[in-house]
């Protein structure tokens, strides 16, 4: 069994039209959400062996704040350009390349790919956790899955069970519902 946590970047600023999408930073609300989600991961004793992320600024900032809340040692992220605005299929390819000695992978990126990946990994699951994910995967949210495989290369759609889906507003109501 492998554990996979999917983190969507926190809320970014849209107020500077001169910036490329890739270079958009987090806004104050996004920074707060990233900190709260990192604290939540800390409280849940999450330990990541491997971290892969989109190199977009908003993901980089989200991950920096999020990981700072965790106990050391923290793995250095692998910045994978393919994860920038990637499809679920591309993200699955990235997952399959994870070293097998890693038990828990944190993958940070963007919608719609992250959401589609979570839904497709756990396709066939019908419960309240899955229904919550189907409703919306907002910025800053975490989806925690258990994958029924020994090697990451065997991960595939339908091989996962969504164990937990946490949105920033679930931890701090001031971070929703329009979030």
Number of domains in the chain: 1
pTM here is 0.96
pLDDT tens, residue by residue, 14-67: 777 788 999 999 999 999 999 999 999 999 999 999 999 999 999 999 999 999
What is the DSSP annotation of 106-169?
EEEE-TTHHHHHHHHHTTT--SHHHHHHHH---TT-EEEEEES-SSGGG--TT-EEEEEEE-HH
Q: Can you give the CATH number for the domain in which 88 is found?
A: 3.40.50.1240
142-147 β-sheet, strand order: 78-79, 50-53, 104-109, 2-8, 142-147, 160-166
In tens, the pLDDT along 66-97 reads 999 999 989 999 999 999 999 999 999 999 99
Residue ranges making up the domain that contains 91: 2-175
């Amino acid at each position: 069994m492998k554990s996979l946590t999917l983190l969507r970047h926190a809320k970014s600023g849209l107020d500077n039209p001169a910036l490329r999408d890739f270079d958009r930073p987090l806004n104050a609300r996004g920074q707060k959400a990233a900190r709260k989600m990192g604290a939540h991961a800390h409280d849940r004793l999450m330990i990541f062996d491997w971290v892969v992320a989109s190199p977009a600024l908003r993901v980089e900032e989200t991950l920096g704040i999020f990981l700072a809340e965790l106990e050391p040692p923290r793995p250095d992220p692998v910045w994978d350009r393919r994860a920038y605005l990637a499809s679920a299929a591309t993200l699955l390819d990235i997952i399959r390349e994870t070293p097998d000695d890693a038990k828990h992978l944190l993958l940070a990126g963007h919608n719609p790919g992250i959401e589609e990946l979570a839904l497709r990994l756990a396709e066939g699951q019908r419960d309240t956790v899955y229904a919550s994910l189907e409703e919306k995967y907002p910025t800053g949210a975490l989806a925690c899955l258990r994958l029924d495989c020994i090697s990451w290369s065997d991960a595939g759609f339908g091989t996962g069970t969504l164990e937990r889906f946490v949105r920033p507003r679930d931890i701090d109501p001031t971070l929703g519902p329009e979030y």
